[in-house]
Amino acid sequence: MKTSDIGFNTWFEQANWPRSFVRTLLFNTFIAVFLWVIRFDHNFFHVLIVSHCIGLSIHGLFYLACHITVHQFNGRFWPLTMILATLLGSLFGFWLGAQIIGFDFQKAVLSGWRQFGSILLISLLFSAIISYLSYATSRIAQTEAAIQKERAERLANENKLTEARLQLLQAQVEPHFLFNTLANVTSLIDTQPDKARHMLEKFIEYLRATLARTREAESSLAKEIVLMRAYLDIIQIRMGSRLRYSIDIPSMFNNTNFPPMLLQPLVENAVKHGLEPKIEGGTLTISARNKNGRLQLSVEDDGLGFKGERSGGLGLVNVRERLAVLYNGKAKLTLEECSPCGTRATIELPTNG
């Protein structure tokens, strides 16, 4: 009830009263014609005058009633006040009309109560139709405005989402990686065009997969591996023979769900802190195994390890936090030193079976 009360208030404030006045005049004329057509014995001008008197007084009282309803009752009891206004308007209009055309109002009411009753009924019916139409059109306009507003809000939200995705993409495609890759492609174009093309293809593959991932909440281990392969291929062209890598994922994990952005920080760390700063380079291994129905995914390198590495680690804190949220404490990330050198990062999480 409350919402319709407020709806009534807004309708009253937004209703186009001059237009509805013109509409009332048209309706009055229409009713007069209608009555005259079904009862030829009347004087058309008399019918017209009475009709207008009734219509206009309903209109006036209606407006007054609306005003009182909105300002005195805050929109409550509106059906009651509307009916009252119509009834009183009909009576007053009929009386006024009778005065103008010289009818004896009392006599007319008493002798022709049937005729009077029908006029009253028709007045009620038409004023109901008019008010309903006015109400409905304004409600349609209001609904449309609401839809427009919602659409604008949704667009704004979508923009925010796109922005967030771009930020995510930016966070993933590190500027240093981007510029270095492009610098390598440029330097290879003249002397080794095949290698340059290969590198660009891998880079496009990497960008496409990254972009797709920013749109999905879920990813699969297979997809993440494709992305990491592209990434490592690019790094391999850059580092030359200093980087070797192997990926060993048993086929049972082909359809395993895996959250996006969890594997990449581990691989990046292994390259950035383990292998890139090591003069002779080394090998990076990504491997998965099943441990009592849980997935154990390791990224291992034989690089410099965490020796003296005290900064950074931010990516790993994020991985830890995301694991905690996504798996409700049922997943973990451990970091170990490998012998004789290097680091192993292991994610362990429950699989979807």
Partner 1 sequence: MVEKIIHALIADDEPALAKYLQTKLATLWPELKIIALAPNGLEALRIIDDENPDIAFLDIKMPGLTGLEVAQRIDRKARLVFVTAYDQYAVDAFEHEAVDYLLKPVTDERLSKCITRLKQQLATNAAPPEISALLQKLASILPKQGEGFLRWIRASVGPNVRLIPAEEILYFQAADKYTAVITQDGEALIRLSIKELTDQLDPHQFWQVHRSTIVNVQQIASTTRDEAGHVLVKIKSHAQTLQVSRGYAHLFRQM
- Min dist CB 247 to partner 1, Å, is 23
Q: Which of 101, 211, 222, 335 is in the footprint of partner 1 by CB under 8 A?
A: 335
Q: Which of 49, 65, 82, 188 is in the footprint of partner 1 by CB under 8 A?
A: 188
String of contacts with partner 1 for each residue 251-280, x by CB under 8 A: -------------------------xxxx-
Angle in degrees, 0-180, between the axes of helices 44-73 and 17-38, rounded to the nearest 10: 140
Nearer to partner 1, 188 or 230 (CB): 188
Q: Which phi-psi region, left, alpha or beta, contains residue 16 (left: φ > 0; alpha: ψ -120 to 50)?
A: beta
The strand pair at 343-350 and 294-301 is best described as antiparallel
> Which residues inside 292-311 make contact with partner 1, applying CB under 8 A?
306, 308-311
Cα–Cα distance for residue pair 30/48, rounded to 1 Å: 9
Q: Note whether 346 binds partner 1 by CB under 8 A.
A: no
Q: Which of 184, 210, 256, 298 is in the footprint of partner 1 by CB under 8 A?
A: 184
Query: Do 231 and 208 touch, CB atoms closer than 8 A?
Result: no
String of contacts with partner 1 for each residue 154-183, x by CB under 8 A: ---------------------xx-xxx-xx
Q: Note whether 187 binds partner 1 by CB under 8 A.
A: yes
- Min dist CB 207 to partner 1, Å, is 17
String of contacts with partner 1 for each residue 193-232, x by CB under 8 A: --x-------------------------------------
- Min dist CB 270 to partner 1, Å, is 13
- Min dist CB 199 to partner 1, Å, is 9
Binding range to partner 1, per CB under 8 A, among 59-67, 70-78, 189-197, 223-231: 189-197
- Min dist CB 187 to partner 1, Å, is 3
Nearer to partner 1, 76 or 278 (CB): 278
Count, residues near partner 1 per rule CB under 8 A: 39
Residues that bind partner 1 (CB under 8 A): 175-176, 178-180, 182-184, 186-188, 190-192, 195, 237-240, 242, 276-279, 306, 308-313, 316-317, 320, 334-337, 343
